[in-house]
Structure 1
Amino acid sequence: MTTDSFTIRSIEAFCYRYPLATPVVTSFGKMLNRPAVFVRAVDEDGVEGWGEAWSNFPAPGAEHRARLVNEVLAPGLVGRKFDSPAQAFEVLSKGTEVLALQCGEPGPFAQAISGIDLALWDLSARRQRLPLWRLLGGQSRRIKVYASGINPGGAAQTAEAALARGHRALKLKVGFGAETDLANLAALRAIVGAGMLAADANQGWSVDQALEMLPRLAAFDLRWLEEPIRADRPREEWRRLQAAARMPIAAGENISSVEGFKDVLAEDVLGVVQPDIAKWGGLSACAGVARDILKAGKTFCPHYLGGGIGLLASAHLLAGIGGDGWLEVDANDNPLRDRFCGAVADVTDGTIVLGEEPGLGFTPDLSGIANYRSL
């Protein structure tokens, strides 16, 4: 991979909230609105790049992450020259380790740093006049996608609407009681036919509850069962689940270190591994993790549930790394996603095709969402 040094002129985060008529529901809580923290980086030559920081929870957390970017992280980067985005990522990560520990906020710092990292990768690819997926080593710009975030209420209608938009693969949220979960899975399997169907419990079960559900889930030919138990449960509990499961177990969005991913890749528990580039690691850490996932013989599926810029960057990562995984595309109402996801908005027969334009191939016009800005 070639490098092209740059000097940072400015970094700025913009925070938005889109109010929801129908909340997004998970087993651990509801989202009453959709936040997005978009990050713009500009170098001394006037080249800009865009990224996004994960900001879904807690409810008031998006504004905090935007302020971390603007008031804590950006001042330490402005005027500095870097040889690569990865170098800036290392400087930010190492330089804030003690501060993040002191205030008990490794997560928010990692997410704010990820947003900056994604913006710098976009900027770097634009400088080199390469689409980001090519800069990451990609050979094909077509990737598979799946419709995600399907709520327990109105699941069939959401699934049918997703298929009408071109989707051929679905993921249902479960963890709302066996009767509701099984009825929704039956409905979605009928709707998607032989297409891919997965389920996500969002850490909602104990290991005993998960073991009780596994035989009942076997009838639906699930491509994977995601986070059936808490991400921090002992590895022995995860091994028990894998031994009893008739479908692959998936996780990764709540792993936040290279060492954590090395641990899960060294064992056979997870069949599908899902780092989230806006939540931890950006592209600087997660590109290497994604390559390691494929080397370990597992399926790489980037996790994502936010605004459009991070979704588009996740698409470029999947196309850049390759493999046979799917890109997660939220099926719920969110103009902060739809207006800014570029090629991801055009789903045809379960796939999207990225462009050959430099960087992300998309420059956001934020003027159209000015009324949603919260910081």
Structure 2
Amino acid sequence: MIDIARIQAWAFRSPTKRPVATSFGVMHDRPAVLVRVEDRDGVFGWGEIWANWPVAGAEHRVRLLEMDVAHLVLGARAETPAGFFHKLDAQTRIRAVQCGEVGPFAQVIAGLDIAVWDMAARRKGLPLRRLIRADAPDRVPAYASGIQIAVAGDLMPRARAVGHQRFKLKVGFDLDADIAAVHDIHAGLADHELIACDANQAWSLEQAQEFVTGVADVPLHWLEEPLPVFADRGEWQTLAANSAIPLAGGENIIGEADFDHAIKAGVLSVIQPDVAKWGGVTACLAVARNALANGRRYFPHFLGAGVGIAASAELLAGAGGDGLLEVDVNDNPLRSLFFDGQEPIADGMWTCGNGPGLGIDSIPEELAQFQTLYTEIS
């Protein structure tokens, strides 16, 4: 029985030595929102709430949890984590629509859901992946992410040095320069290495087709969000029909119905829900199983702090399939300090923790310097 008696939430901001650039904006610091829930027996769980955008997003999510959601959680009982998720989702749906903040509400619920699953696994003394599937592996394949193509010459060697063999390049800045850089980078790969590209919704159909044509002789592993998520369905179908590169997306899809359509429409080969952005473990696990059952690949999207990446790894291991874990390789102590300063990567594989739940007991003391907001509700 889930019966939460205490909620704590923190907002953090870590300065960056180098801004993290995407085609739609630049992150000048690294934000994170972490949440801890505790039941009446003292069993606790950790979660993470997506807060990369807008710039003021981290503090907003903490206040949203504190003032609009916490009272629905404290003392509200549920038999299972999934029951908790669906009840809270239903309770907040109208107010989320009323204020035009469907995404932020979904993100808060996702973080709480992660924490409740962590708590449930701790109660049983199991790693989260083994609560999901008894024979889940201890390691999952991973890839280096967050590599803006203009600085790939710096970030890729660093990623290799820590054990990465797969790399995702952020494109969508300048078509001709992007195409030329993809060719140059591919030419320098070792035989066991591969690359993919992520346009972050930057292109029109014509631009996406120009890119696909321009890199036709490069065996890209996948092409992520070449079009906006709201682009006409026919444009996605046209691009898929004329691209030898598998298309990927999902971080900006909300709801099992929309994911079901994306999975069954035959356009996306790789499905990428973000456990901290929508759905938590409950709904993202359902999406992963749906994707695998329909011949798609499940690659959890993630670009945040240590709790969320641990949850993504546990979820991928539990879901099964041949998916890859996204691991940001830009400096971010909000992520790396959860793993003693260096993520557990070797030979292109992420090693999951052996502890119960997510394997995280507390926030590293060194993160206190980055805290911008804290709240506790009981």
What TM-score comes out, normalization by structure 2 length?
0.95
Residue in 2 that maps onto 1:164: 161
1:81 is displaced (CA, Å) by 2.4
Q: Larger relative CO (CA 8 A, sep 6+): 1 or 2? A: 2
1:80 partnered with 2:80: no
Residue in 2 that maps onto 1:176: 173
Q: Summarize the Cα distance change of 1:369–1:356 in structure 2 as closer, same or farther, 3 Å threshold.
A: closer
1:228 partnered with 2:226: yes
1:99 partnered with 2:122: no
Where does 1:8-157 land on structure 2 (aligned, <5 Å)?
A: 8-137=4-133, 138-157=135-154
Given candidates 283, 287, 312, the residue that maps to 2:285 is: 287
Question: Which whole-Å CA distance do the structure 2 matches of 1:231 and 1:103 have between them?
Answer: 22
1:356 is displaced (CA, Å) by 3.0
1:347 partnered with 2:358: no
| Cα pair 1:145 1:352 within 8 Å, conserved | yes
Give the aligned residue type for 1:269. Answer: V
Partner SS, residue 53 of structure 2:
coil
Unmatched segments (≥5 aa) in structure 2: 374-378
Question: Which whole-Å CA distance do the structure 2 matches of 1:106 and 1:43 have between them?
Answer: 27
| Cα pair 2:13 2:29 within 8 Å, conserved | yes
Residue in 1 that maps onto 2:185: 188
1:115 is displaced (CA, Å) by 0.6
Question: Which whole-Å CA distance do the structure 2 matches of 1:343 and 1:272 have between them?
Answer: 30
1:284 is displaced (CA, Å) by 1.0
Task: Give me the CA root mean square deviation.
Answer: 1.4
Q: How many residues align?
A: 371
Residue in 2 that maps onto 1:268: 266
Q: Summarize the Cα distance change of 1:152–1:232 in structure 2 as closer, same or farther, 3 Å threshold.
A: same
Give the aligned residue type for 2:100. Answer: G
| Cα pair 1:129 1:358 within 8 Å, conserved | yes
Give the aligned residue type for 1:155. Answer: A
Question: Which whole-Å CA distance do the structure 1 matches of 2:56 and 2:358 have between them?
Answer: 28
Residue in 2 that maps onto 1:252: 250
Q: Summarize the Cα distance change of 1:348–1:191 in structure 2 as closer, same or farther, 3 Å threshold.
A: farther
Partner SS, residue 57 of structure 1:
coil
| Cα pair 2:164 2:346 within 8 Å, conserved | yes
Question: Which whole-Å CA distance do the structure 2 matches of 1:280 and 1:299 have between them?
Answer: 18
Question: Which whole-Å CA distance do the structure 2 matches of 1:340 and 1:231 have between them?
Answer: 32
Residue in 1 that maps onto 2:376: none
1:127 is displaced (CA, Å) by 0.4
Unmatched segments (≥5 aa) in structure 1: none
